[in-house]
Amino acid sequence: MRISFRQLSLSCVALTGLVAASAHAQTKKTATGHDRKATASAPAAQNRSSGGDDLSSSVLGQFNRSSEEVSVTSHAVAATGITNRTPGGGLMPPQSAPRSQSGVTRDFIAKQSPSSNITSLIANLPGVTVTSQDPFGTTGDHLQVRGLNETQFGYLFEGAPLADPINYAPYTGTLVDTENLGSVTVSQGAPDLNAPFYNAVGGQITATAINPSHHMGGFADLAGGSYSFNKEFLRFDTGDIGNSGVRGFLSFSHTAYDNGARGPGGFLRYHLDTKFVKEWGDGNDVAAIFSYNRQESTSWRAPTMAQWKQYGVGFSYDQNFYPGNANYYKLNSQNLNQQLIVLPMNFTLTDRLKLHVTPYYVHQFGPSLGGENIPAVGGYYGTQQYGQLSGGTVVNGSILTLGVDPWDQKTGGLNMSADWRITNSNTFSFGWWYAYTTHQELSDFQPVYADGSGWSGTPISVNGHILSGYDLNFMQQVNTLFIADTQRLLNDRLTISAGFRVAMVSRQGTNLIPGADPYKMQGNYFEPLPQFSASYKITPHDQIFINGTTAFRAPESVEAYSQIFDPNSSHATMQPQSLKPEYSISEEIGYRHQGGFYNFSMSLFNINMTNHQVTSTGYIPGTNQMVASPINIGGQTSRGIQGEFGLGRWHHFSPYLSGQFLHSTFDNNFNTGTGVLPTAGKIAVAAPKFTGAIGINYDDGRFFGNFDLRYVDSQYTTFMNDEKMPSYITSNLTLGYRMKAIGPMKHPQIQLNLTNLGDNHYLSGSSYSANAKAHVTSTGQIAAGSPPVYYVGGVFAAMVSLSTGF
């Protein structure tokens, strides 16, 4: 790994500056002492939903209330919801689940860039590698954990699975504004038994929104920075509404920036969040969460390794237009729109019986846009050749068009479970999850005006039909059932849990393009999934645990079921892939210490997978449209060790360390279709051997700051290990000052966020291919190289934000 002197020196200066600031700040003690606690109400309480800071020691991983999570209002030191109670500066909340589990709380979240999304916030946790493309953390949900990526993780938000149910993309930036995010928990290797997933072979990521305040008020945040970045956020809390027991909040935000060093274009987002809560009796509560997101962004252009070496971060779509230029930036963009409703409900039916019900609805839609030149004469609609096209400007026999993919997807679901405490030491749980999804996708081509000022808005037709590369209709139904039993022995020091889940997924898709073969494809999956765990409390602060988990993932993306055509080709440019489900068996043994002066955890893990599907994201040949396609690589084995360490506050400092060693290999040779490549024993893609993070947090109630440094080892991007992505290191810095109340403004503060100190230019992720260079297969044929494309990491950026409660 190469670390520039500039990068190393800047990181050291930043750390020294943070220490110096703290020394200066300690000379200005407040009237109430070093650890002054604000008495004003904070609008952020940790959420009580599944996946919070404290999880039960059962195989379910269900949330148990604790005093800190129910309300932290009296402990808040800032209007942002910071309490300074979580070790490691908010990076090591207490855990008790019998599995590897890490998280972040408001103590960390509130000090990051207000543009961050859920995925970018967990980059410091052990084994988590996040692919960042912009410097603000708004876009990009790609991550890797233990050799698996985000499509192999289940994402829960307020108890509902809100990732794309077909291609499993999480789109976390559309779910919630950072100012409304309460906590994020990462379970590496093992999902909850009762979690509504059919893809979580790698574990799960759980996010919760803050709870509304009991007092009327609100929060405002204004931010500006590099590349014309600006964000405006406003939240209003109703407080307790009369004697109804209902309280809620409503927030709105606008975010925009230019791509700057990454080329022309930019990003625009409008977002709305609401949450209302009613609580009564002993353990009864109902919440209503609604979110709306409208988002437009210029597509990031992904280079090959050769293009990266030639152009660096400047590899982008073109600033200027000329006739026939399909790479003009205004023709290449992504629109991501989402509406969601979640209604989590918890009821205490009797002293021994509790019921949990979560209905939800999510609507996601595009379009995605990409420029493409198509033949003016003699092109193809599916496998049928067409004659002369009408409309558009012909340049060198082609018409420049805007390829439009107006995908539209709706999902409704209901997740129910019950806990029956049979005796004081034995709890039996059972539940059912049902979900129904529809997906429509009819691509079209719209002629671009000769001067590049726009496009017609009218799709090109052939014989009365819209010219298209795919006309997809997809439907999916999911049913899962589970039972589990948890036994507590030896005065609750030993907890043994066993459970069984069965998942049933039914899919069917049609492609109405002429010549599509097959016209209709179906997939039906029935998977039994047992789990087992045991934990033992050596002392009230020390715990050991073991677990064995099985999980499966139904094939990813509609492209796994349907052909993709293009007017430039007489046959399908992408063929359906293997429809076999991915299956994993994982084991862990671990130890954690919590309480006292420090928190520490470590675990050893082993994951065996069959029909492992590596997600290859690439361009449809000859176009600027990127699609995700699963590649069945066969078996994969991953083994390693991970750990993290965090201190409580010491002289206002809270340090944090995390790291992972991973050895992941392919178990089988890869069949290219024309021959076999010797990939057995090769290092798996997306599996860096070493990853680590160092963080330090400072907060004395007035001055505060946060510094973190992350290292990611090199990683192979081809199955033949003939190309790899270099290792890289990045660091970020936060500095801020929190003021006393000024009139109606509660704890106004100014915060500076610096990302990628040293402006390190690096590749942060990639697509994958069998081989980048030509190789001889088992049949003696030459397997031509297919270089993968890469995601470019975000460059240096600075942001200043002003915020206050009221």
pLDDT at res. 390: 86
Q: Is the pLDDT of residue 33 over 80?
A: no
Q: Mean per-residue pLDDT for 595-614?
A: 93
Q: Is the pLDDT of residue 65 over 90?
A: no
Q: Mean per-residue pLDDT for 156-182?
A: 93
Encoded tokens for 251: 């927030």
Question: Which residue, 417, 558, 553, is CA-closest to 476?
Answer: 558
pLDDT at res. 35: 35
pLDDT at res. 389: 93
Tens-place pLDDT, residues 352-378: 999 999 999 999 999 999 999 999 999
Q: Does residue 124 lie within any of the structural domains?
A: yes
Using a 10 angstrom Cβ sphere, with 0-12 exposed, 13-18 middle and 19 or more buried, the burial of residue 795 is buried
Q: What is the CATH number of the domain that holds 103?
A: 2.170.130.10
| Domain of 758, in residue numbers | 217-805
Domain's final residue, options 185, 209, 233? 209
Whether residues 157 and 104 fall in one domain: yes
Instruction: With beta carbons less than 8 A apart as the criterion, state whether 687 and 654 touch.
Output: no
Distance from C-alpha of 428 to C-alpha of 421, rounded to nearest angstrom = 6
Whether residues 405 and 554 fall in one domain: yes
Over the range 759-770, which residues count as b (16 or more CB within 10 Å of their CB) and which as e? bbbbbbbbbbbb
Whether residues 247 and 183 fall in one domain: no
Q: Does residue 17 lie within any of the structural domains?
A: no
pLDDT at res. 672: 84
Q: Mean per-residue pLDDT for 100-117?
A: 95
Q: Which band of pLDDT confidence, cut at 50, 70 and 90, is reported for residue 730? A: very high
Q: Which long-range contacts (CB under 8 A, 24 or more apart) does 18-25 make?
A: 18/696, 18/698, 18/705, 18/707, 18/733, 18/735, 21/698, 21/703, 21/705, 21/735, 22/651, 22/652, 22/653, 22/698, 22/700, 22/703, 22/705, 24/703, 25/652, 25/700, 25/702, 25/703
Q: Is the pLDDT of residue 585 over 80?
A: yes
pLDDT at res. 39: 31
Whether residues 298 and 281 fall in one domain: yes
Whether residues 396 and 490 fall in one domain: yes
Tens-place pLDDT, residues 188-206: 988 898 899 999 999 999 9
Secondary structure class of 246 (helix, strand, coil): strand
Q: Does residue 13 lie within any of the structural domains?
A: no
Q: Is the pLDDT of residue 793 over 70?
A: yes
Whether residues 479 and 614 fall in one domain: yes
Question: Which residue, 635, 634, 654, is CA-closest to 646?
Answer: 654
Q: Mean per-residue pLDDT for 32-38?
A: 34
Q: Mean per-residue pLDDT for 554-568?
A: 87
pLDDT at res. 20: 40
pLDDT at res. 260: 87
Q: Which band of pLDDT confidence, cut at 50, 70 and 90, is reported for residue 60? A: low
Tens-place pLDDT, residues 237-293: 999 999 999 999 999 999 999 998 889 999 999 999 999 999 998 889 999 999 999
Q: What is the CATH number of the domain that holds 255?
A: 2.40.170.20
Q: Does residue 12 lie within any of the structural domains?
A: no
Q: Mean per-residue pLDDT for 381-393?
A: 92
Whether residues 237 and 148 fall in one domain: no
Whether residues 250 and 195 fall in one domain: no
| CA 357 from centroid of its chain's CA atoms | 25
pLDDT at res. 386: 95
pLDDT at res. 13: 40
Q: Does residue 28 lie within any of the structural domains?
A: no
Domain's final residue, options 165, 187, 209? 209
Mean pLDDT of the chain: 88
pLDDT at res. 392: 87
Q: Does residue 18 lie within any of the structural domains?
A: no
Tens-place pLDDT, residues 500-550: 999 999 999 999 999 998 889 889 999 999 999 999 999 999 999 999 999
Q: Is the pLDDT of residue 42 over 60?
A: no
pLDDT at res. 621: 67
Contacts of residue 743, Cβ cutoff 8 Å, sequence gap at least 6 = none
Handedness of CA 57, 61, 67, 73 (dihedral sign): positive
Q: Is the pLDDT of residue 58 over 80?
A: no
Whether residues 570 and 681 fall in one domain: yes
Q: Does residue 366 lie within any of the structural domains?
A: yes
Q: How many domains does the chain have?
A: 2
Q: Does residue 11 lie within any of the structural domains?
A: no
Q: Which band of pLDDT confidence, cut at 50, 70 and 90, is reported for residue 613? A: confident
Give the angle subtended at the CA of 594 by the CAs of 589 and 597, to the nearest 5°: 140
pLDDT at res. 291: 97
Q: Which band of pLDDT confidence, cut at 50, 70 and 90, is reported for residue 132? A: confident
pLDDT at res. 574: 81
Tens-place pLDDT, residues 462-502: 989 999 999 999 999 999 999 999 999 999 999 999 999 99
Q: 1 or 162, which is more confident?
A: 162
Domain's final residue, options 209, 240, 261? 209
- pLDDT above 90 covers what percent of the chain? 77
pLDDT at res. 59: 54
Whether residues 131 and 225 fall in one domain: no
pLDDT at res. 73: 45
Whether residues 120 and 223 fall in one domain: no
Whether residues 706 and 642 fall in one domain: yes
Over the range 710-719, which residues count as b (16 or more CB within 10 Å of their CB) and which as e? bbbbebbbbb
pLDDT at res. 712: 97
Q: Is the pLDDT of residue 55 over 60?
A: no
Q: Which band of pLDDT confidence, cut at 50, 70 and 90, is reported for residue 29? A: very low
